[in-house]
């Protein structure tokens, strides 16, 4: 395989912190954690050169479970923090992660602008179409007729958000979907995403077995997209607009140069920094 590392010196478990996850038994996020560690091992990344920034929610617990630098940010604000980190430390491999509520609702505006800015990082959204941590409310990606929450009797009756379409329209440079039901396949997508320059968006299907038990059937519904990644946004747009949400693999690989501002020299002392603010 083109992305294989001939001989990784670290094993996937070396990227785990030892803190035991408290996700529900059966949760898809366990597989996502495994896929991330497998991807890092395949890339032979030094843990001290990797940072993962998350928002708030079940999936945003990820940094605690990894042996890399981590930051558990404010709700919906993983991307601004990750952006700041990457532009000031371009030598790091930066990942951002969170759930569908955190990424597409509370942090929806940041998602669009992170795609537009095209800073070189990878954003993993673990989508289970529900707010799990707050005990099961409809999220932006929930189907309009899902009515298991008493907050939305009869369903939301609102069309769900299509994150891949929004990502393409906003300028993301790499768009892919993976599934927690196939952590090995997900690891490959993550390796490709981390290696691709610019903003890479990975839509990760990750069932919530507690509040959306019917999502266990996703493993029978996901399938590899029968297409090669395209570099043509028009082809990608058609592909994503007709997507049924269960095609896996890399769907778009753009060639926009990543945004990286010129770094200013570090100030020697705090009073020098102060001068910059004097009118």
Partner 1 sequence: MNETSILSKADLLARTLTMLSETVERYDLFADQMDVVNNPEAATIFRWLSDKQNSRTEVVKKLSEGLELPHISPWDYDWDDAINTEVPGHSSAHYMMTPYHTLSLAIDVEQSAAKLFSEIERNAQSPETGKLARSFAREAKEFHEYLIYKRSEHPVPEVGWDEDHDPPQLLE
Of the residues 55, 101, 140, 183, which one makes contact with partner 1 according to CB under 8 A: 183
157 lies in the site for partner 1, by CB under 8 A:
no
Which ranges of 118-182 would DSSP assign to H, the alpha helix?
Answer: 163-170
Nearest CA to 27 out of 184, 211, 221 is that of 211
SS3 state at 26: coil
d(CA 80, CA 101): 16
Closest approach of partner 1 to the CB of residue 91, in Å? 26
Give the contacts of 72 (CB within 8 A, at least 6 positions apart).
Answer: 54, 56, 60, 61, 63, 64
Closest to partner 1 by CB, 99 vs 136, is 136
Of the residues 6, 18, 153, 276, which one makes contact with partner 1 according to CB under 8 A: 6
Which 18-37 residues touch partner 1, going by CB under 8 A?
20, 22, 24-28, 30-31, 34
Closest to partner 1 by CB, 19 vs 231, is 19
SS3 state at 213: helix
Closest to partner 1 by CB, 170 vs 210, is 210
137 lies in the site for partner 1, by CB under 8 A:
yes
100 lies in the site for partner 1, by CB under 8 A:
no
DSSP element (H, E) containing 36: helix 29-42
Contact 96, 59 (CB under 8 A): no
187 lies in the site for partner 1, by CB under 8 A:
yes
3 lies in the site for partner 1, by CB under 8 A:
yes
133 lies in the site for partner 1, by CB under 8 A:
no
What are 43's strand-pairing partners?
Answer: none
5 lies in the site for partner 1, by CB under 8 A:
yes
Q: How is residue 217 annotated by DSSP?
A: G
Of the residues 49, 89, 109, 151, which one makes contact with partner 1 according to CB under 8 A: 151
Of the residues 173, 180, 200, 245, which one makes contact with partner 1 according to CB under 8 A: 180
Of the residues 17, 149, 170, 260, which one makes contact with partner 1 according to CB under 8 A: 149
- Which residue bears the tokens 């890479």? 200
**CA–CA distances in Å: residue 156 to residues 14, 103, 130, 198:** 43, 19, 12, 35
> Tokens standing for 143?
């189907």
Of the candidate spans 93-101, 194-202, 218-226, 266-274, the one that interacts with partner 1 by CB under 8 A turns out to be 218-226
76: left (phi over 0), alpha (psi -120 to 50) or beta: left
> Tokens standing for 227?
């297409």
Closest to partner 1 by CB, 181 vs 245, is 181
222 lies in the site for partner 1, by CB under 8 A:
yes
Closest approach of partner 1 to the CB of residue 41, in Å? 9
> Tokens standing for 74?
């404010």
d(CA 102, CA 225): 27
Positions that interact with partner 1 (CB under 8 A):
1, 3-8, 13, 20, 22, 24-28, 30-31, 34, 38, 42, 134-137, 148-151, 180-185, 187-188, 207, 209-211, 216, 219-220, 222
């Amino acid at each position: 395989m083109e992305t294989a590392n001939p001989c990784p010196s670290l094993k996937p478990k070396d990227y785990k912190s030892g803190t035991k996850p408290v996700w529900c038994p059966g949760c898809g996020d366990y597989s996502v954690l495994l896929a991330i560690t497998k991807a890092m091992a395949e890339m032979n990344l030094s843990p001290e050169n990797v940072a993962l920034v998350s928002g708030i929610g079940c999936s945003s617990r990820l940094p605690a479970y990894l042996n890399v630098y981590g930051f558990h940010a404010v709700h919906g604000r993983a991307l601004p923090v990750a952006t700041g980190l990457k532009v000031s430390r371009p030598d790091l491999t930066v990942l951002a992660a969170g759930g569908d509520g955190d990424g597409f609702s509370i942090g929806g505006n940041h998602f669009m602008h992170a795609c537009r800015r095209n800073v070189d990082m990878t954003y993993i959204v673990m989508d289970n179409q529900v707010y799990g941590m707050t005990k099961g409310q409809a999220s932006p990606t929930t189907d309009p007729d899902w009515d298991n929450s008493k907050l939305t009797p009869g369903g939301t009756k609102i069309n769900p958000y299509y994150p891949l379409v929004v990502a393409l329209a906003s300028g993301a440079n790499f768009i892919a979907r993976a599934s927690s039901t196939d952590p090995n396949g997900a690891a490959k997508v993550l390796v490709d995403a981390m290696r691709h320059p610019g903003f890479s968006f990975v839509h990760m299907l990750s069932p919530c077995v507690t509040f959306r038990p019917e999502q266990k059937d996703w493993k029978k519904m996901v399938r590899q997209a029968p297409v090669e990644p395209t570099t043509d946004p028009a082809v990608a747009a058609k592909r994503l607009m007709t997507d049924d949400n269960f095609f896996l693999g890399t769907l778009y690989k753009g060639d926009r140069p990543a945004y990286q501002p010129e770094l200013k020299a570090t100030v020697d002392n705090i009073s020098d920094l102060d001068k910059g603010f004097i009118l």
